[in-house]
Structure 1
Amino acid sequence: MSDLSAFFQSVKLPVMPEVAHALIRTLHDEDVSITQVRDLVAKDPVLTAKLLRTANSAAMGMRREIGTLDAAISMVGLSQVRTLALTACMNVAFPVVPGLDRTEFWRNSMACAGYAQWLAGGIGLDAQQAWLTGMMLRLGELLIVQAKPDTLAVLERQPQIPGDRWAREQQLLGFTEAQVTAELAHRWHFPADIVRGLNTASAPLASPPLSQLGGVVHLASRLADMAFSDPEIVDALPQDVVSALDLNLDWMRSKLPSRDSFFDISSL
């Protein structure tokens, strides 16, 4: 039995609401309609309220508040409403973990999502799929801390260098938080592209053929972990991954978004 299989036998999995599972099923349907997604979300009034708060955060700078699901879809688009709804579901599905700064956890996850969306746009990937995958990347950490609370203390005592956390997890546990999230996504029946992107995110070049989504999320996570958003941080990224994705370095330096420019769901 692998280390990861043994881990999943020892951990209590979060329970996702039925509306979340229904939304996940729509990710497999290219012909899903606005009405279908709206009606699914509308079945859960609490989720609807959270989604509207999140949509208003996502639409900062617009002149009027988003007050209905139809308006949310009209203003920010069907794909983003669906991913925001799934995000809100996941935010409440995972329990509060003692010792973990939940607010900072979700802010980091939102930054990873934002950078993944931005990088995906640079190479023609599905931006909303990248956003959702980036947002989910660290969910495995919540399960690790739940099952092995002492691991968090060991990880936090180490210098916080972008990208090193995966190596420390691999050394301590035999797997990474990204691989835990991938297995969770598989069990929740997310599309195979998302599962493989998560599974390879910690080392995208180690599992050919390259998952572009995994490479994008790898870089996005490193950017989210950096303390500042100076264009020079682009040069600190693993250039072999940048090259494999055929990303334009000049574009990255000139268009790099600020970490603070991404909305977050930490207050939900």
Structure 2
Amino acid sequence: MTLNKYVALAAKSFALPEVCIRIRAVLDDPRSSAEDLGALISVDPSLTAKVLRLANSALFRFPSQVESISKAISVIGGEALYNLVVAETANSAFKSFNTPHIDLDKHWYQAVYCGMVAKCLARHLGIRGSERFFVMGILQNLSELVVAKHSSDLYKVYQDDKVCELPYVRQIRHFGFTFSECSGTILENWKLPLVLYYPVMNANDPTKQDADTDIGILALASRITAMQHNKECYGEIELFSKEIANSVSADMDAISNAITFADIETTKVAMLIH
């Protein structure tokens, strides 16, 4: 099955919630105000509660409590708030593609872990809007669930392949594309912003890793996640390929700090969204 076929199946199985579409429209409308944005989210008490819990989590580490959507908008900004809504939506997307071939809780944990590592690295590098890296990390392997659900036999062969190649190399060999490439195309199809879907789509492209820091960070976070969760196969993985090293100015202390941060905070944040 082709990449585009999986993207079409994903579109049939899960549609981006209306609130995400409406928030994006407000943010893209120069005539809109912070009050318009707050009003959209506040009509949904459950979403409001989840967004506020995330705003007060280790994702932001604000010195004072963020107790209202209006304060969240003023403190973290509309784009960050949108990213939190997309992150909260991601859990619903994962559940809609549930398959017996994948332990969904484990898959979700590793997705959040990747997001936490990516955000920590972006913060270390002083990149503005670092919370978007959390969202990209979560969504990078979304398509693995889609593939496993709709091509169970092929996915089982992939799953049983114990060759310790980099994950994306095995994916190309079995499917002809990477899960990250397919996930990024799904995000594009959902009309998420370019800054979210483009790095995901190109996370495993060495040429793009070399030229784009966002892509390099996401690629590095993916390698760290693989190393930490499958040490038997990836314990000696090369974290800094030549291309990643060219775009990401981080040392092993930064890597260690990102791992420590993710080890401590992932379970808490995963449960906040779950």
Normalised-by-shorter TM-score class: 0.7 to 0.9
How well do the aligned residues superpose, as a CA RMSD in angstroms?
3.5
Per-residue CA distance 1:2-23 (angstroms, 9 max, x = gap): 9322333455341121001223
Bigger proportion of residues as helix: 2
CA pair 59-178 structure 1, distance change in 2 beyond 3 A: closer
Distance 1:206 1:219 in 2: 14
The 1-side partners of 2:201 and 2:60 are apart by 33
**TM-score, normalised with respect to structure 1:** 0.79
Unaligned runs of 5+ in 2: 230-234
Equivalent residue for 1:181? Answer: 183
C-alpha distance in structure 2 between counterparts of 1:213 and 1:60, whole Å? 19
Q: Which runs of 5+ in 1 are unaligned?
A: none
- For residues 154 and 189 of structure 1, do their structure 2 counterparts lie closer, same or farther at Cα, with a shift above 3 Å needed? same
Establish whether residue 43 from structure 1 lines up as the match of residue 48 from structure 2: no
Between the two proteins, the alignment pairs up a number of residues equal to 262
How far does residue 218 in structure 1 lie from its aligned partner after superposition?
A: 0.6
Distance in 1 of aligned mates of 2:124 and 2:29: 25
1:21-43 per-residue CA deviation (whole Å, 9 max, x = no partner) reads 22344565799754333222223
Larger CA deviation: 52-61 vs 99-108: 52-61
Give 1:170's aligned residue: 172
Q: Which position in structure 2 is the counterpart of 1:220?
A: 221
> How far apart in 2 are the matches of 1:227 and 1:41?
36
Q: 1:219 to 1:26 in 2, by over 3 A?
A: farther
Q: CA, structure 1 residues 101+77, in 2 after alignment: closer, same or farther (shift >3 Å)?
A: farther
More divergent stretch after superposition (177-186 vs 88-97)? 88-97
Q: When the two structures are superposed, what TM-score results if normalisation uses the length of structure 2? A: 0.78
Distance 1:236 1:167, change over 3 A: closer
1:140: which partner in 2? 143
Q: Is the 8 A contact 2:119 2:134 kept in 1?
A: yes
Give the one of 84, 99, 102 matched to 2:104: 102
Structure 1: distance between partners of 2:210 and 2:27: 23
Could you list the per-position Cα deviations for residues 53-106 of structure 1 after superposition, in whole angstroms to 9, with x for gaps in the alignment?
444544798898765434555676654433221111121134132232222222
Q: Are residues 43 and 97 of structure 1, via their aligned partners in 2, closer, same or farther at CA, if it must alter by over 3 Å?
A: farther
